[in-house]
Amino acid sequence: MDLEELDAWADRVLDDRARVTEHLTEAELHDRSVVELAESFACADGWSIGPDDPALRTYLIDGESISDAMADAVIAKLRELGAAHGWT
């Protein structure tokens, strides 16, 4: 993902979040956050960091300050995205 694509993605995420978050339940907000984080590690041609890289879980917990359970959900979603695109 180049810088222009990253900027466009970030703008889309912020616009989308601003429009809909006030109407979402906590569970829906959680699910959206999981998808957004997972998508941030997926590029058009593969992962920027793969779901099997142990550094990813560490980064999610320490760097993104999320819970162990949410980190595991992000990694599972990243695997799901990879499978949908045929990445191994």
Per residue of the chain (88 residues), give pLDDT as tens: 578 887 888 888 888 777 766 778 889 888 988 998 888 887 767 777 788 889 999 999 999 999 999 999 999 999 998 888 888 6
Residue 39's SS3 state is helix
Quick one: tokens of 53? 């890289």
User: pTM of the entire structure?
Assistant: 0.71
Give the pLDDT confidence score for residue 58 in this predicted structure. 94
Q: Which of 76, 52, 56 is nearest to 64 (CA)?
A: 56
Calpha distance 44→74 (Å, rounded): 18
Give the pLDDT confidence score for residue 44 in this predicted structure. 67
Q: Count the Cβ atoms, other than its own, within 10 Å of residue 62.
A: 10
Give the pLDDT confidence score for residue 1 in this predicted structure. 58
